[in-house]
Amino acid sequence: MDEGRDSALTHMRKSVEKLGSSAEGYEDSTLIRFLVARSMEPDKAAKMFVQWQKWRAAMVPNGFISESEIPDELEARKVLLQGLSQDKYPLMIVLTKRHFPSKDHNQFKKFVVYLLDKTIASAFRGRETGNEKLVVVIDLQNISYRNVDARGLITGFQFLQAYYPERLAKCYILHMPWFFVSVWRLVSRFLEKATLEKVVIVSNEDERREFMREVGEEVLPEEYGGRAKPVAIQDVELAPLENGPTN
């Protein structure tokens, strides 16, 4: 580790203590995500980290979201978890044609946490090291106005930005219909520059081939030109994590 990063980590840990919390038990790789998200400014990173700790304690008091807490969201089987991309990032595919705006927004927020936690956890065995990323595909094929959920999209991206810093490797948006362009413009206003730079709207054949190359035919379902079978995220079984505060 270079001297500048080591110094920033030391400063950040002290700043966390000054804010009345502790970074004890968290690996450097976890803290570095917060530093990178705040341009390596230790005080800002510490504030973000402490806010995340408080949010996590309130949103996920048991350490995980159980499937019994999100039955309505799981019923549609609208999210797939397909294995690792070419860069060894877990691949999540959101089938928006199966999604409808939730009447219970609190359950939806828990669903987002469940999706992100489980997708990230699928990238490793045993205890997380703190720096795993994920690839998200948002498939808009065959959606109607009833499937449009700007609030849900904004919630998902805001959670990534505020509580899962430096977790998103890439987000691909497929089959965007003309009427969704204005929705995406609205959603984009809530995205930080660093997040927007990771979003790729696949709109032509060259971009489709690049998408397939980067993700990999081995994990893409057949309907996307790959060789894998679609697997709903709730059907993926993961070994339980060792106890520890690292997220």
How confident is the model over 122-143, as pLDDT tens digits? 987 544 556 689 999 999 999 9
Lowest mean pLDDT among 116-130, 132-146, 185-199: 116-130
pLDDT number for residue 243 = 40
DSSP 38: T
What is d(CA 178, CA 141) in angstroms, rounded to the nearest whole number? 12
Lowest mean pLDDT among 52-61, 97-106, 119-128: 119-128
pLDDT number for residue 241 = 52
What is d(CA 206, CA 140) in angstroms, rounded to the nearest whole number? 19
Residues 6+ apart with CB under 8 A from 47: 15, 19
Which residues lie across from 134 on neighbouring strands?
168
Which two tokens mark 168? 């998103």
**Average pLDDT along the chain:** 93
SS3 230: coil
Taking residues 40-64, what's their average pLDDT?
96
DSSP string, 150-191: HHHHHHHHHHHHHHSTT-EEEEEEES--GGGHHHHHHHHTTS
Lowest mean pLDDT among 78-87, 117-126, 186-195, 202-211: 117-126
Taking residues 8-20, what's their average pLDDT?
97
pTM of this prediction? 0.92
In b/e form, how buried is each residue of 212-229, taking b as 16+ CB within 10 angstroms? bebbbeebbbeebebebe
What is d(CA 236, CA 170) in angstroms, rounded to the nearest whole number? 22
What is d(CA 82, CA 137) in angstroms, rounded to the nearest whole number? 11
User: Phi/psi of residue 115, each to 5°?
Assistant: -60, -50
Taking residues 75-97, what's their average pLDDT?
96
pLDDT digits (tens, 9 = 90+) for 59-82: 999 999 999 999 999 999 999 999
Taking residues 183-190, what's their average pLDDT?
97
Taking residues 173-202, what's their average pLDDT?
97
Residues 6+ apart with CB under 8 A from 143: 96, 97, 177, 180
Taking residues 140-163, what's their average pLDDT?
97
Which is nearest to 49 in space by CA: 73, 75, 23? 23
* pLDDT score of 247 more than 80: no
